[in-house]
């Protein structure tokens, strides 16, 4: 039975974007208010609440579909008969998407709730919402056309956020976004051509596209894998990450990178092909994930700009998630999916603190090893912003996997799965985690502690920001302390993945059991 | 469930949850509303700690009256995937209850001391919140029934310890010191984490009861093969060395004394510093099976004791001397465990925890104490303790003195061999990324650092290099 719930979940962010844009148009057409600051505040709050209402609706709908079981989770559009086969747009909530949907929606909701008013202009908020909606389409798509459309929109919308700017950084971002669209569209097109050649009735279905017997299956595998790696800023596609984070708003960064659908693409399209076609493909992806995790973690050690540093740590953690997913063991794959939620919430929280600081004191550079203030370096902020300081350290520890946090559960499961598949990878992935902990702690110590670099006459976190950060902390620690439901969902998703095997209970002598 | 089991479960949970919930509650209140008053803070904390210690004493009574050498309290799995379960359980035996009681008693004493000592300090509430967090972590370490659960407490102790070093966070010294502590802890934690996972692989569990074949501590044996036992043992030694400031992780302990006196007493004199020794004591049956590990224990402990005794003699400040004295005693405990004298080491641990905790609490009064002693002695000279130095040839004594002043160049070596290469690789990667971006867009890439400012060595490097702040201003050699 078909139901429109998945369609509405993906469309609601677009609807929110439309409302925000229309509202912005109406406001800009109206005569300027004599009290400008009040007008700006009102406008920002309208943008915020329009976005919040649509995202909350999408979140409730997704939770009803996943947990309450009151809604069917498949959407099928009327079939369109084409000369070479039938295309039917299909969306579904299953396995990985049941974790990704509420996670991404919640992360975006929190980011919008806490965003400073100055960051909430109609255009950039609409673009962020549209990017989120595109990601949701990708997460639920069961046919190649919907997948490609969602993927392309998700790449194109953030580019339009900086339309008019012709900076070198933006050019790099455009190049890589175009590359990842080309890779996926080409890969899917080849698969569809193969399916048409094989006379399949529905050549656009993902089940057809991921069939290893079709011609061009190997080319599809390579192209789709590369597209997924590019989306996750995996090595060597990581070059776009730093310029992107330099220019993107925190909200856009949260919905387009921290909430990353690259893994879903890898699990849904590349993994079935890889496990059937070549044995060595998956270790190759695991190696790429490991190199990404270590490279980003090492690179972050010498990074001095706060936003870039967060982006690199998130990139490193996505690398570890990729290693877990590619290990093809149920524990590691489960850990990878739990890790997606942990990274999305943790990165959102850290970005919120960073943007709260940046909106108060300007662009922030961090540096350690000196007690005297230097140009461009911010130190000793905790005197003015003690709550921001506390929030940073709590979130940093949560992100790097202090016991009780969601990241700990994810890390523990990935580690156990990896040790069965590739023990050396497990140790190296742990090293990346150690480096990330040092980086985040160092950044927090440099920014908040020590002698203040100047007098900061800035307010601490507002109540709205505090509540949002408490929600993030509760999600990270609350779900971390009671992860049963999430882990069960992730396990069932992991077991449904092609090639993933259950780890055998071995090694224990009989007398020890 | 029998009534006794219910009581055991509630009491065991209370030991850990009373301080943990207090820490989280006070922290959340301070974050959302305002910092609680001194009176409210210490009253809540003392109630929580008294509740914890009373629960622990009740557990002692229950175990003693049960007629069994130990009891296990099972709280059920935290999470599970397939055959793997993260089981939360406590083991109540003489070692866990003994260490648990030591932790609770010293924690309560230090909390009582800190009420007056930290009166009107800016971070008063922060200290008590971290104290409660540390107590919850230490009690988890003490009562854990498996390496998995022990690791939970271990990490919480680490986080609270690093944060406590930052008590005077506006000074640059504590900030650098905390980073050094964090780096040492995180590297050492790898040992425990990997060791636990290797045990899962080899034995299918990390529960002491299963691994040590239901033998009551210090007895018990293991049928894990010698190679695995040696690997796990060495990994645990690595972890314990980090937590208990043994070589090669000895640098952090003197610098961690940057916190207020009660925190130095709690973490680096009495309790946290002994967590590594507790881990080794708990794992003693495993070492019986692996002579390599026993040899390593004796070597590491012996070298650390010698090193700390020599470096400690050239320290001019009371806290510095006590830090090295602590390090030396812990080294001796390692040697005792290596030789198999685990009961002696356990007693040594408890006695040393109380003594060093007391000494550190008395540290601010040490000058007054010396003056009082001098007044009592009148014209008689102070007893000399440099008989060994006088017995040595002068060249040897000078050589030792110079090297002890420089802490035998261990910090410099660690920086040059480990940290500097890592930092260089990091900078090279940043430069490579910038070059790749430049090629891609054919224009200068965004700067990684502020224009015109060289990349300074991060605090880790600075901390390892030392800034002279820990060097003595006077000598006794």
> Could you say which residues from 164 to 193 on chain A have a Cβ atom under 8 Å away from some Cβ of chain B?
168-169, 171-172, 175
| Cβ atoms of A218 and A303 closer than 8 Å | no
Q: How many CB atoms lie within 10 A of CB B281?
A: 23
Mean pLDDT for all residues in chain A:
85
Query: Is the pLDDT assigned to residue A178 strictly greater than 70?
Result: yes
Q: How far is A450 from chain B (nearest CA, A)?
A: 4
pLDDT tens, B313-362?
Answer: 888 888 888 999 999 999 999 999 999 999 999 999 999 999 999 988 88
Decide which of A23 and B250 is more confident: B250
Average pLDDT, stretch A339-343? 93
Q: For residues A461-481, give the mean pLDDT.
A: 93
Q: List pLDDT tens digits, range A63-74.
A: 988 876 655 577
For the cut 70, the answer to whether the pLDDT of residue B190 exceeds it is: yes
Task: Say if residue A207's pLDDT is above 90.
Answer: no
- For chain B, say whether A431 makes contact (Cβ under 8 Å): yes
Q: What is the pLDDT of residue B454?
A: 41
- Residue A366 clears pLDDT 60, i.e. is over it: yes
Q: What's the confidence (pLDDT) of residue A481?
A: 93
Q: Is the pLDDT of residue A83 over 90?
A: no
DSSP label at residue A267: I
Return the pLDDT at A512. 43
**pLDDT at A21 exceeding the cut of 80:** yes
Across the interface, which of B81, B203, B204 has its CB nearest the CB of A487?
B81
How far CA B252 is from CA of B77, B196, B245, in Å, comes to 36, 25, 7
| Beta carbons of B423 and A302 less than 8 Å apart | yes
Residue B473 reports pLDDT greater than 70: no
CB A172 to CB B440 under 8 A? yes
CB contact under 8 A, A295 and B429: yes
Q: Which residue has the higher pLDDT, B270 or B56?
A: B56
Mean pLDDT of chain B: 86
pLDDT of res. A27: 65
Is the pLDDT reported for residue B456 higher than 60? Answer: no
Task: Read off the pLDDT of each residue in A135-143 and give the average, rounded to a whole number.
Answer: 93
Confidence of residue A96 (pLDDT cuts 50, 70, 90): confident
Rounded Cα gap, residues A126 and A129, in angstroms: 5
**Residue B477 confidence class, pLDDT cut points 50, 70, 90:** very low
Q: Does residue A104 contact residue A80 with C-beta atoms inside 8 Å?
A: no
- pLDDT tens-place string over residues B44-71: 999 999 999 999 999 999 999 988 889 9
A437–B83: do the CB atoms touch at under 8 Å? Answer: no
Q: Is the per-residue pLDDT at A215 higher than 60?
A: yes
Mean pLDDT within B299-303: 97
**A386-416 tens-digit pLDDT:** 999 999 999 999 999 988 999 999 999 998 8
Do A467 and B32 count as a contact with CB atoms less than 8 A apart? yes
Nearest by CB: A243 against B201, B422, B437: B437
Contact list, A449 vs chain B (CB under 8 Å): 166, 169-170, 175
Can you say whether residue A182 is alpha, beta or left, with left for phi > 0 and alpha for psi between -120 and 50 degrees?
Answer: alpha
Of the listed ranges A186-195, A361-370, B159-168, the least confidently predicted one is A361-370
Residue B72 is predicted with a pLDDT of 92
Contact call for B430 and A451, based on CB within 8 A: no
Residue B469 clears pLDDT 50, i.e. is over it: no
| pLDDT band per the 50, 70, 90 thresholds, residue B397 | confident
Q: How high is the pLDDT of residue B380? A: 77
For residue A190, give every residue at least 6 positions away whose Cβ sits within 8 Å of its Cβ, in sequence order, or none.
A216, A219, A220, A223
pLDDT at res. B138: 96
CB contact under 8 A, B31 and A470: yes
Segment B452-471 shows an average pLDDT of: 42
Range with top average pLDDT, B22-31, B376-385, B411-420: B22-31
Lowest mean pLDDT among A221-235, A237-251, A492-506: A492-506
* Cβ of residue A74 closer than 8 Å to a chain B Cβ: no
Which of the listed ranges A33-47, A158-172, B166-180 does the model predict with the highest average pLDDT?
Answer: B166-180
B201 compared with A265, residue with greater pLDDT: A265
Size of interface A-B (CB pairs under 8 A): 222
Residue found by looking up tokens 């203030």 in the block: A373
> What pLDDT does residue B451 have?
41
Which has the higher per-residue pLDDT, B114 or A171? B114
Kindly tell me if the per-residue pLDDT of A43 is higher than 50.
yes
**Residue B467 pLDDT level (bands cut at 50, 70, 90):** very low
The per-residue pLDDT for A152 is 95
The whole-number pLDDT of residue B468 equals: 39
- Cis amide prior to B241 (ω within 30 degrees): no
pLDDT level of residue B470 (50, 70, 90 thresholds): very low
B201 contacts in chain A (CB < 8 Å): 419-420, 507
CB distance from A467 to chain B under 8 Å? yes
Q: Of A246-250, A320-324, A370-374, which gets the smallest average pLDDT?
A: A370-374
CB distance A172–B213 less than 8 Å? no
Higher confidence at residue A499 or residue A32?
A499
What is the reported pLDDT for B320? 87
Q: Higher confidence at residue A269 or residue B384?
A: A269
Q: What is the pLDDT of residue A339?
A: 94
- In the prediction, which pLDDT does A28 show? 63
The average pLDDT across A53-78 equals: 82
Residues 6+ apart with CB under 8 A from B426: A298, A299, A300, A301, A302
CB of A202 within 8 Å of a chain B CB? The answer is no
Q: Cα Rg for chain A, rounded, in angstroms?
A: 23
B81 with A304: Cβ contact below 8 A: no
Which among B176, B426, B441 has CB closest to A171?
B441
User: Do A381 and A447 meet the contact criterion of CB atoms below 8 Å apart?
Assistant: yes
Lowest mean pLDDT among A233-247, A494-508, B438-452: B438-452
CB contact under 8 A, B31 and A391: yes
Whether A11 and chain B come into contact, CB under 8 Å, resolves to: no
Do the Cβ atoms of B170 and A504 come within 8 Å? no
Which pLDDT score, from 0 to 100, does residue B110 have?
A: 93
* SS3 at position A80: strand
CB distance A369 to B453 below 8 Å: no
**Model pLDDT, residue B460:** 43
For A254, which DSSP code? Answer: I
Closest chain B C-alpha to A461 CA, distance in angstroms: 10
Percent of chain A at pLDDT exceeding 70: 89
Compute the average pLDDT of residues B143-161: 94
Q: Is the pLDDT of residue A509 over 60?
A: no
Whether A28 and A40 have beta carbons less than 8 Å apart is answered as no
Percent of chain B clearing pLDDT 70 (strictly above): 91
- pLDDT of A376 reads 64
**Per-position b or e across A277-299, b if 16+ CB within 10 A of its CB:** eeeebbbebbbbbbbbbbbbbbb
Q: Answer yes or no: is pLDDT of A228 > 90.
A: yes
Closest-CA residue of B relative to A176 is B440
pLDDT at B455: 42
What's the whole-number mean pLDDT along residues A460-475? 92
Per-residue model confidence as pLDDT tens digits over B425-436: 988 998 998 888
Say which range, B35-44, B91-100, B193-202, B243-252, has the weakest mean pLDDT.
B193-202
């Amino acid at each position: 039975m078909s139901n429109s719930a998945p369609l509405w979940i993906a469309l609601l962010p677009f609807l929110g974007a439309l409302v925000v844009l229309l509202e912005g148009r109406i406001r800009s057409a109206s005569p300027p208010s004599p009290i400008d600051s009040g007008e700006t505040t009102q406008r920002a709050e309208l943008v915020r609440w329009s976005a919040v209402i649509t995202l909350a609706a999408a979140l409730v709908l997704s939770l009803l579909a996943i947990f309450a079981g009151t809604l069917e989770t498949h959407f099928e559009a009327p079939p369109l008969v084409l000369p070479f086969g039938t295309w039917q747009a299909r969306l579904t909530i299953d396995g990985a998407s049941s974790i990704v949907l509420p996670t991404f929606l919640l992360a975006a909701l929190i980011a919008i709730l806490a965003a400073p008013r100055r960051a909430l202009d109609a255009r950039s908020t609409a673009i962020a919402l549209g990017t989120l909606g595109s990601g949701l389409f990708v997460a639920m798509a069961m046919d190649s056309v919907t997948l490609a459309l969602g993927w392309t929109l998700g790449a194109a919308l953030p580019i339009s956020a900086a339309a008019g700017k012709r900076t070198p950084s933006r050019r790099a971002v455009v190049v890589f976004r175009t590359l990842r669209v080309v890779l996926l569209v080409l890969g899917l097109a080849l698969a569809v051509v193969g399916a048409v050649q094989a006379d399949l009735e529905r050549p656009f279905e993902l089940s057809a596209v991921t069939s290893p017997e079709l011609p061009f299956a190997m080319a599809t595998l390579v192209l789709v894998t590369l597209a997924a790696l590019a989306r996750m800023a995996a090595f060597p596609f990581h070059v776009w990450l730093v310029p992107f984070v330099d220019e993107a708003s925190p909200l856009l960064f949260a919905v387009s990178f921290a909430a990353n659908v690259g893994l879903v693409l890898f699990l849904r399209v590349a993994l079935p092909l890889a496990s059937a076609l070549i044995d060595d493909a998956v270790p190759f992806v695991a190696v790429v994930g490991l190199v990404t995790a270590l490279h980003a973690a090492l690179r972050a050690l010498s990074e001095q700009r706060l936003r870039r540093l967060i982006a690199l740590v998130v990139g490193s953690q996505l690398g570890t998630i990729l290693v877990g997913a590619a290990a093809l063991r149920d524990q590691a794959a489960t850990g990878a999916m739990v890790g997606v939620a942990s990274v999305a919430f943790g990165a959102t929280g850290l970005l919120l603190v960073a943007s709260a600081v940046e909106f108060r004191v300007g662009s922030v550079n961090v540096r350690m090893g000196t007690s005297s203030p230097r140009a461009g370096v911010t130190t000793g902020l905790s005197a003015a912003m003690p709550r921001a300081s506390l929030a940073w350290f709590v979130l940093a520890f949560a992100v790097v996997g202090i016991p009780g946090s969601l990241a700990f559960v994810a890390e523990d499961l990935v580690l156990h799965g990896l040790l069965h598949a590739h023990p050396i990878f497990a140790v190296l992935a742990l090293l990346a985690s150690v480096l990330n902990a040092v980086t985040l702690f160092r950044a927090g110590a440099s920014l908040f502690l020590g002698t203040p670099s100047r007098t900061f006459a800035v307010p601490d976190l507002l109540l709205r920001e505090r509540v949002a950060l408490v929600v993030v902390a509760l999600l990270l620690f609350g779900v971390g302390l009671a992860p049963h439901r999430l882990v069960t969902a992730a396990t069932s998703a992991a077991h449904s993945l092609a090639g993933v095997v259950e780890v055998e209970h071995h090694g224990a002598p009989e007398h020890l059991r | 469930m029998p009534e006794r089991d219910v009581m055991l479960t509630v009491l065991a949970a209370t030991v850990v949850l009373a301080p943990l919930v207090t820490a989280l509650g006070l922290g959340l209140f301070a974050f959302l509303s305002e910092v609680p008053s001194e009176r409210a803070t210490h009253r809540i904390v003392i109630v929580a700690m008294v509740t914890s210690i009373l629960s622990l004493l009740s557990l002692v009574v229950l175990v003693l009256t049960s007629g069994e050498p130990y009891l296990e309290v099972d709280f059920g799995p935290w999470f599970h995937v397939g055959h793997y379960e993260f089981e939360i359980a406590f083991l109540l035996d003489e070692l866990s209850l003994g260490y648990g009681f030591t932790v609770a008693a010293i924690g309560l004493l230090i909390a009582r001391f800190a009420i007056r000592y930290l009166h009107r300090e800016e971070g008063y509430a922060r200290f008590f919140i971290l104290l409660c967090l540390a107590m919850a972590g230490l009690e988890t370490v003490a009562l854990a029934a498996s390496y998995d659960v022990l690791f939970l407490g271990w990490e919480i102790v680490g986080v609270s310890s690093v944060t406590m070093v930052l008590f005077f966070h506006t000074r640059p010294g504590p900030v650098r010191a905390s980073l050094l502590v964090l780096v040492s802890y995180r590297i050492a934690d790898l040992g425990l984490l990997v060791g636990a996972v290797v045990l899962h692989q080899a034995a299918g569990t990390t529960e002491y009861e299963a691994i040590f074949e239901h033998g009551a501590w210090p007895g018990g044996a293991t049928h894990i093969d010698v190679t695995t036992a040696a690997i796990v043992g060495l990994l645990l030694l690595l972890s314990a060395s980090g937590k208990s400031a043994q070589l090669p992780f000895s640098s952090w302990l003197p610098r961690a004394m940057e916190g207020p006196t009660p925190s130095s007493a709690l973490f680096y004199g009495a309790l946290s510093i002994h967590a590594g020794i507790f881990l080794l004591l708990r794992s003693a049956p495993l070492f019986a099976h692996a002579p390599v590990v026993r040899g390593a224990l004796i070597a590491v402990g012996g070298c650390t004791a010698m090193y700390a005794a020599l470096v400690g003699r050239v320290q001019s400040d009371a806290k510095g001397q006590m830090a090295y004295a602590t390090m030396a005693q812990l080294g001796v405990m390692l040697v005792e465990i290596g030789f198999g004298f685990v009961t002696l080491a356990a007693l040594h641990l408890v006695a040393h925890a109380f003594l060093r905790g007391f000494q550190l609490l008395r540290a601010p009064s040490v000058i007054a104490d010396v003056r009082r002693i001098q007044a009592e002695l009148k014209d008689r000279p102070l007893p000399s303790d440099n008989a060994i130095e006088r017995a040595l040839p002068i060249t040897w004594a000078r050589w030792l003195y110079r090297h002890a002043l420089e802490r035998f160049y261990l910090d410099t070596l660690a920086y040059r061999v480990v940290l500097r290469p890592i930092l260089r690789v990091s900078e090279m990667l940043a430069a490579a990324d910038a070059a790749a971006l430049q090629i891609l867009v054919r224009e200068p890439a965004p700067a990684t650092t502020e224009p015109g400012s060289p990349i300074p060595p991060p605090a880790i490097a600075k901390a390892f290099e030392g800034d002279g702040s820990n060097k003595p201003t006077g000598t006794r050699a």
